Chain A
Amino acid sequence: MSINIKLASDQFSPTPLAEISNGQIAVEANQLNVYYGNFLAVKDVNLKIETKKITAMIGPSGCGKSTVIRAFNRMNDLVPIARTEGEVLFHGQNIYAEGVDPVEVRKRVGMVFQKPNPFPKSIYENIAWGARINGFKGKKSDMDDLVVESLKDSALWNEVHDKLQQSGLSLSGGQQQRLCIARAIAVKPDIILMDEPCSALDPISTLKIEELMRDLSKLYTIIIVTHNMQQAARVSDYTAFFTLDENRAGYLMEYGQTNQIFMNPKEKVTEDYITGRFG
């Protein structure tokens, strides 16, 4: 079969496919089940996410990909009726084990949301706040450095360097989303989760975020949920395809290197979804 999608490897990484894997696992889901009340939303997910790679999660609406990504930093804890079973191993440690503080998990696994949600504070404060609450004890100049560095890393510095004291809400949608990314990396996480980060943005802003993600993947492990298959194909190294069973419980259908999933899917359902025959 042939599909007309440019692959990440064509665009960004000249490395042969076989050498993509570095063998290091950042986070691993073992028999992950998430319930909302009595409803089983996600069942039996087994997934290993490699460090400093971009892993995309795709699949039809309601297949639980957002639930899975939110299980990686215990955001589901905030939903009163949500219940998680199974393990999520972060550097070998189960983050759902007794005695693990979700606050610490979320500090090490940052998140960027679907809708840009900067704090109604200044651009500077948006970034400084995260460091401060996590016990930043440096001088004012150290904080300034951190803010500048985070803004540079998130490719926002050139656009905002002269208006750091303006409200984060005064920026455009794409800039706001990059501010959210800057805010997330200022806390120095290991992993950045992105839950449909571009779905509220125009194509140019989307492109900027995608380029940024490629840059960030040199330093961070990135997991992205997306509805946009071209996006998954463009930016990701690995792709996980989720789908629904007859009880509307989401499960992992197929997982592999992005070129393989898009060029040569093992499962018929994956192929149908990717070629647009369903979903």
Chain B
Amino acid sequence: MSLQENQSQFQSDLNARHRRGKIWHITFIVSTVIAIIALVVLLVTIIEDSFGYAAITYKIPPSEIAPAGTPLESMLCEELIPILEENVSPNRYRQLQNEKPFTEWSQQECYEIVVYEVGGPKAEETWSLSYSLRYANELKTYVKQKYPEGDLIFKQWLNLDFITQPQSKDPLIAGIRTAILGSLYIIAIVIIVAFPIGIAAAIYLEEYASQNRIHRIIQTNINNLAGVPSIIYGMLGLAFFVRYLEPITSGYIFGYSSETTANGRTILAAGLTLALLILPVVIINSQEAIKAVPNSLREASYGMGATKWQTVWNHVLPNALSGILTGTILAVSRAFGETAPLIVVGASTFVTFNPDSIFSKFTTIPIQIYQWTARPQDAYKNIAAAAIIVLLLILLTLNAAAIFLRNRYSRRLQ
């Protein structure tokens, strides 16, 4: 073959190589775009359901609560409270007063409580944000026809009350405070338990254990455990933490007793179960981070007469820390969103009081979302969407805080 032929052969080969490269390049872009679209669709769907019109009907419409002629909105608290006392049961009246003495209520609060307690609003139908915006006028006529006594209200399902109020049977006033606190308590236990144990195990496996058969068996098992479905961990948690360790997880061994007995189905049991769930992931991630520490650093340390522990503590761990934290953050995020194992462990679906210790009954945000989406009424779908936004925001905040800490720490090392 002459040089000329070679050259043309090379040219056509080269063009083919560039074409192949281009095809892959486009494939990668398309994949990224698909992922971004999926994310956007998810966010849009959630936001769609978190805001929008709702048709509200009343047992007694607000306009009829007040004595004829006076608009309810303009009445003072002193005038509103007697109406409340008149119309609700004495029990409920006392209950309301116990929550917050009436003298401390603002006019707006008085108005809202009277509308709610006396009027007995009910969300009949709800509409998504885009539908509400596009067909506002049609909705008005539709509601007027179908619910002549009812109101069409633009409802922000995600609002401050939603975050600060406890769980309730009524979606109009249901909040997520107890679930947020339950989730945070559980995550605290997960971090306290899984983080040190996971890192310690990873250090042992990477730095101390000799590479023999037993080591390989343990390693394989850890890798497999990371892939076990979370519901299996729930069963384990139920059998071990809830049933077998009940004296500990219910707290009565420590002299703790609660008026609402949880029988071991407590925050502690749930936290330990989730800690177990993410432990293999924490170990594997930490191992990878420790492996990534250059061996030259270990040699330098040993070469100066450092012991193994001095080497690990002063050089391996600080340099692996940012990798370890990255992996752990992801694992904790996973635990935060877990639902299945908590249902098995016995999360309560209806908790109206704050958890006061790790031996309390609990509910979590994902459990609430799951419960609410399972209800048939429209309005539950909306508060579930609002709860999802809260969940995402908390996750985002936790991750951002962890990443901020990590970056600050690793910068100090450089």
Contact = CB atoms under 8 A, between A and B. Distances in A.
A133 B413 contact: no
Contact of A180 (B300, B302, B414): B300
A113 B303 CA distance: 9
A107 B304 CA distance: 6
A130 B304 contact: yes
Contacts of B315: 119
Interface in A14-71: none
Interface residues of B, number: 22
A169 B413 CA distance: 11
A33 B30 CA distance: 59
Given A80-B210, A120-B414, A121-B413, A183 B304 contact: yes
Contacts of B298: 78
B258 to A, nearest CB: 50
Contacts of A130: 304-306
Interface hub of A119, A180, A183 (most chain B Cβ within 10 A) = A119
Contacts of B294: 117
Contact of B303 (A106, A129, A134, A169): A106
Contacts, number: 67
Contacts of A118: 300
A80 B206 CA distance: 12
Contacts of B296: 113, 115, 117
A2 to B, nearest CB: 40
Contact of B299 (A75, A104, A107, A187): A75
A195 to B, nearest CB: 10
Contacts of B126: none
A183 B40 CA distance: 54
Interface string B402-414: 0000000000011
Contacts of A119: 297, 300-301, 315
24 contacts: A78-B299, A103-B305, A106-B302, A106-B304, A106-B305, A110-B303, A111-B303, A113-B296, A115-B296, A117-B294, A117-B296, A117-B299, A119-B300, A119-B315, A120-B318, A129-B304, A129-B314, A130-B304, A133-B304, A133-B307, A133-B310, A133-B314, A169-B414, A184-B303
Name the 6 nearest CB pairs between A and B, nearest first.
Answer: A107-B305, A111-B303, A117-B296, A130-B304, A117-B300, A106-B305
